[in-house]
C-alpha cells in the first residue's frame, strides 16, 4: 500500500488513486536501473506533497511580488544556504523547474542567439540542452559538439581543446547523460580559460556522488554548475544553478524574470530536505556504495561478454553496446522490463542505428543502492540481465516471466520509502 495511504485521493478520484497505487507497487517489485532515477525519502515525499503547493512567490527572498512570504522566504534561504555549504559555492539559485530550464537560464544569462556554444553531442553522452540540433540550444545558437574517441569511448581533452581554440565558443558545457567515467573538471577549466569561454558543469547525473565525496567536484573549476535534484542527489524533481559571486546576479535575473514565473515552493522545501540528508555521513556511504555497485555490475557484465562503452564504470552508470549480442537496445530494454529489470534504450557513441531504435542500453545503480543492494548482489543481477536478453532473442517468454518472479522475491526483503506491501 502507498505510504502515506491515499485515502483522500481514493475518495475523490479512485481512477487516479488506483494508478498511483499500481505505480508504487511497480516501483517496489522492479529492479529500477534507469541511472537518472531514484527513491526519495519519506521526508522528501512529505515536503513535496505539502501545502506549499498552494503558494505563489515570484521574486527572491525579501524581494517578492506577492505577499504572504513569511515562511516561504526562510524555506528558500535554508535551501540556498545548504546548497552553498554542501557544494562549496558562493551562490545558489534553487528555483529552476528542472534541468533543461536551468541550462536555458545559463544561455540567457551569458550568450545571445547566434553565438557559438560548445557541448558534448547527445549520442556521445551529452544532453539535448548542450547544443544538440533538435533542441532550442542547437537551433538558436551556433553549436559545435565534441564526442568521445572511437578507440577508448572516453573524452579526449586534446580534441576538445583543438575544437575550442578553433571555434572560440562563448560557453563550454561539460557533463552529460551517458558518461560512465570521471569528468576531468580541472582539464575542462584549463581549456575554457585558454579559449576565453565560460565553463558550465552540468552535474545532474553525478550531483549525489559529488555531495557524497565519490566523484571530484567542479567547484573552483567551473564558472557555473547546473544540476537536477532528483538523480543521484535523491531529491524531488527540480534543479539548481550554483556559481561564484561574479556570475550570481546574471543567473538570478535569467531564472526570474528571464525564464520562469513563480518557483515551486513545495519543491524548494523538498530540495532543502534533500540537501540536509545529502550532508550526512550516511549519504556519503550511500554515494560510495552506488559506485561500488556499478563497478561490480560492470565487471560481472564484462565477464558475461558484454561490450561496455569505455570498458567499465567509474560512477553510477553503465552504457552497453548490444551489437555483439545481435539484439537492438529497444527490444532488449523491453524484455528486461518484462523480466522486472527497468533500464532505458540508448544510443552508443558512433551508433549506426536511429536514436528511437538505437544499439545500446543505459543502466545505473542509484535506485537499487537506495533499496539496499550491495556488490554481492551484482553477479546475480548481471546473470538475470544476460538470461533475459538471451531469452528475448529466442522469444522465450517463460524464462522472462521466471526472472520477473525471482526479482520480485529478492526485492521483498528490501524496503522502499513510499510503499509497504500489505501483510
Ligand atoms: N532524462 C535525463 C536522463 O535520463 O538522463 C536527462 O535529461
Ligand 1 atom 3 nearest Cα: 36
Q: Tell me: the pLDDT tens digits for 136-163?
A: 999 999 999 999 999 999 999 999 999 9
The three cell numbers of residue 333 are 530494454
Q: How confident is the model at residue 337 (pLDDT cuts 50, 70, 90)?
A: very high
- Residue 208: what pLDDT? 99
202 catalytic residue (yes or no): yes
Percentage above 70 pLDDT, the chain: 100
Query: Beta strand 239-243 with 224-228: parallel, antiparallel or unpaired?
Result: antiparallel
Kindly list the domain boundaries of the chain, sorted by start residue.
47-278, 289-411
Q: Does pLDDT of 345 surpass 80? A: yes
Q: Tell me: the pLDDT tens digits for 43-58?
A: 999 999 999 999 999 9
Q: Does pLDDT of 422 surpass 90? A: no
The active-site residue out of 30, 32, 231, 362 is 231
C-alpha atoms less than 13 angstroms from C-alpha of 320 in its C-beta half-sphere: 34
39 catalytic residue (yes or no): no
Q: Which of 36, 124, 206 to mutate to test the pocket of ligand 1 (most atoms within 8 A of CB)?
A: 36
- In terms of Cα–Cα distance, which of 406, 90, 36 is closest to 233? 36
10 catalytic residue (yes or no): no
Q: Residue 203: which H helix or E strand, with range? A: none
Q: Residue 366 in contact with residue 231, Cβ under 8 Å?
A: yes
Q: Tell me: the pLDDT tens digits for 114-133?
A: 999 999 999 999 999 999 99
Write down the architecture of domain 289-411 according to CATH.
Answer: Alpha-Beta Complex (3.90)
107 catalytic residue (yes or no): no
300 Cα: distance to centroid of ligand 1 (angstroms): 25
Q: Residue 349 in contact with residue 309, Cβ under 8 Å?
A: yes
145 Cα: distance to centroid of ligand 1 (angstroms): 18
Ligand 1 atom 1 nearest Cα: 36
The active-site residue out of 10, 37, 46, 58 is 58
Quick check: helix, strand or coil at residue 70? Answer: coil
Please, is 194 exposed, middle or buried when counting C-beta atoms within 10 Å of its C-beta (0-12, 13-18, 19+)? exposed
104 Cα: distance to centroid of ligand 1 (angstroms): 15
- CATH T-level topology, domain 47-278: 3.40.640
CA 205 – CA 260 distance, rounded (Å): 23
* Domain 289-411 in the same topology as domain 47-278: no
The active-site residue out of 29, 76, 202, 277 is 202
61 Cα: distance to centroid of ligand 1 (angstroms): 30
- In terms of Cα–Cα distance, which of 138, 151, 125, 284 is closest to 204? 125
Amino acid at each position: 500500500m502507498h505510504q502515506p495511504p491515499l485515502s483522500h485521493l481514493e475518495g475523490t478520484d479512485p481512477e487516479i488513486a488506483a494508478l498511483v497505487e499500481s505505480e508504487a507497487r511497480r516501483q517496489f517489485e522492479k529492479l529500477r536501473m534507469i541511472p537518472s532515477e531514484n527513491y526519495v525519502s519519506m521526508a522528501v515525499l512529505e515536503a513535496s506533497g505539502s501545502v506549499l503547493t498552494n503558494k505563489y512567490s515570484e521574486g527572491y527572498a525579501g524581494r517578492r511580488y506577492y505577499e504572504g512570504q513569511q515562511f516561504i522566504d526562510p524555506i528558500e534561504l535554508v535551501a540556498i544556504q545548504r546548497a552553498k555549504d554542501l557544494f562549496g559555492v558562493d551562490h545558489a539559485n534553487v528555483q529552476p523547474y528542472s534541468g533543461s530550464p536551468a541550462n536555458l537560464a545559463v544561455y540567457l544569462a551569458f550568450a545571445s542567439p547566434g553565438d557559438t556554444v560548445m557541448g558534448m553531442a547527445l549520442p556521445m553522452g551529452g544532453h539535448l540542452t548542450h547544443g544538440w540540433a533538435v533542441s532550442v540550444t542547437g537551433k538558436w545558437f551556433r553549436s559545435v559538439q565534441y564526442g568521445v574517441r572511437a578507440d577508448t569511448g572516453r573524452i579526449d581533452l586534446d580534441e576538445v581543446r583543438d575544437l575550442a581554440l578553433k571555434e572560440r565558443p562563448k560557453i563550454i558545457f561539460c557533463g552529460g547523460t551517458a558518461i560512465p567515467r570521471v569528468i576531468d573538471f580541472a582539464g575542462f577549466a584549463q581549456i575554457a580559460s585558454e579559449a576565453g569561454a565560460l565553463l558550465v558543469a552540468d552535474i545532474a547525473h553525478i550531483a549525489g556522488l559529488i555531495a557524497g565525496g565519490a566523484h571530484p567536484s567542479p567547484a573552483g573549476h567551473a564558472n557555473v554548475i547546473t544540476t537536477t535534484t532528483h538523480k543521484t542527489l535523491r531529491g524531488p524533481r527540480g534543479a539548481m544553478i550554483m556559481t561564484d559571486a561574479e556570475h550570481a546576479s546574471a543567473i538570478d535575473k535569467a531564472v526570474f524574470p528571464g525564464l520562469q514565473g513563480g518557483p515551486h515552493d513545495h519543491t524548494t522545501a523538498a530540495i532543502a530536505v534533500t540537501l540536509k540528508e545529502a550532508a550526512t555521513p550516511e549519504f556519503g556511504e550511500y554515494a560510495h556504495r552506488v559506485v561500488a555497485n556499478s563497478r561490480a555490475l560492470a565487471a560481472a557484465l564484462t565477464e558475461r561478454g558484454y561490450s561496455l562503452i569505455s570498458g567499465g564504470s567509474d560512477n553510477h552508470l553503465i552504457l552497453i553496446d548490444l551489437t555483439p549480442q545481435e539484439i537492438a537496445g529497444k527490444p532488449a530494454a523491453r524484455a528486461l522490463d518484462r523480466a522486472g529489470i527497468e533500464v532505458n534504450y540508448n544510443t552508443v557513441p558512433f551508433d549506426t542505428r536511429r536514436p528511437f531504435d538505437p544499439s545500446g542500453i543505459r543502466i545505473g545503480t542509484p535506485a537499487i543502492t537506495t533499496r539496499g543492494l550491495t556488490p554481492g548482489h551484482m553477479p546475480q543481477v548481471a546473470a538475470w540481465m544476460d538470461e533475459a536478453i538471451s531469452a528475448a532473442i529466442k522469444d522465450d517468454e517463460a524464462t522472462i516471466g521466471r526472472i520477473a518472479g525471482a526479482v520480485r522475491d529478492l526485492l521483498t526483503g528490501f524496503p522502499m520509502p513510499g510503499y509497504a506491501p500489505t501483510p
